[in-house]
Structure 1
């Protein structure tokens, strides 16, 4: 009697795991490309306005530093990064450059203010998110962060820091999603090198626009 062939045991395909890894790599690569593109646009925009409006910007920078000084840069940066105010820290960097004021002092004030603002947004996210303007900003970027959370978990915020998503929005979402403080610290650590890179590119663009 011919025995029946043994039943083959089905093997679970590994495709979903590999697909997930590929999606993660694609997300990370896309985030890096977006960051590079935004930096190139920033330097190009500064070079353009430096060429077209150099005298006006020199006057504006001088007037701002004369009336508000480094303290004004600190307050302006804090408001921008804590409450998503539309004038970003890059404006104060350009102001410091055009005015010829202390670059080290200006950048120190901007970096400290940004980190304090990030902590403020993180701890007060629930209350701040009730403001209509800020709520609209969060809703604009939330779908993208939700997709990253599906693939990276809490580390989605770190990946999101490489994208053009505003720093203030990332801090709000970190608080709303209850990101552990240790992981939120990673986002803060990314902030300082990014601000320094912004400053270097703004300074380069300003020099190229001469």
Structure 2
């Protein structure tokens, strides 16, 4: 197996499922740690590069972050958790580590919850149109519907903390008509996720 194939297999959503459709929690947990370590490594390398270029002392960069930071970060996180995109909310961590911890967690958590809930509402709308419903379910893969069917709102909780596709699962949750208040409540796990990741990037938690 080539390196490319190994990486693809590592994060392929289908491989999180056993033959009976249940989640392989051991594999999911291991891959969550691997992904966190990978993101942390990228952040560390990027931060060192950022400092070597002197951008941390650059008045223009600092002014840009001060002027557009909160709005820009919130918009990015909202879009990533609303649409199914090959992006991660974790790309924003380098821009928020200078903020007060509570501000970073609240901004990213709130934007994520808002994006997820809008994805759910979009799913409810799509569910009313059979042709679009079939297309979205086909694009999301049978594994996503299996996870929602088997775990219900816990699928949202699990995906909110792990590499499972959060926005996709929230959209499918809307299509299969999970209860609104259950979805909204379970999506609050994103605040916990943001707090954990903030502590990791702040160096207060050591993985491994």
TM-score by length of 1: 0.66
> Greater RCO between the two (CA within 8 Å, min separation 6)?
1
Contiguous gaps of at least 5 residues in structure 1:
1-20, 206-210
In structure 2, what is the equivalent of residue 16 of structure 1? none
Shift of 1:83: 2.7
In structure 1, what is the equivalent of residue 75 of structure 2? 75
Q: Take 2:126 and 2:64, find their aligned partners in 1: how far apart are those partners?
A: 29
Contiguous gaps of at least 5 residues in structure 2:
1-17
Q: Take 1:118 and 1:150, find their aligned partners in 2: how far apart are those partners?
A: 18
In structure 1, what is the equivalent of residue 36 of structure 2? 39
Shift of 1:120: 1.0
Shift of 1:65: 1.2
Shift of 1:31: 2.0
In structure 2, what is the equivalent of residue 105 of structure 1? 103
Q: Identify which range, 175-184 or 22-31, moves more after superposition.
A: 22-31
- Report matched runs for 1:117-196 at 5 Å: 117-125=115-123, 141-149=140-148, 151-152=150-151, 155-196=154-195
Cα deviation, 1:29-67, whole Å, max 9, x if unaligned, reads: 222222222112221221222233434563586254133
Shift of 1:144: 2.8
SS in structure 1 of the partner of residue 24 of structure 2 = helix
SS in structure 1 of the partner of residue 178 of structure 2 = coil
Q: Take 2:126 and 2:198, find their aligned partners in 1: how far apart are those partners?
A: 28
Q: Take 1:177 and 1:204, find their aligned partners in 2: how far apart are those partners?
A: 40
Aligned-CA RMSD value: 3.7
Distance 1:119-1:61 versus aligned 2 partners, 3 A rule? farther
Distance 1:54-1:143 versus aligned 2 partners, 3 A rule? farther
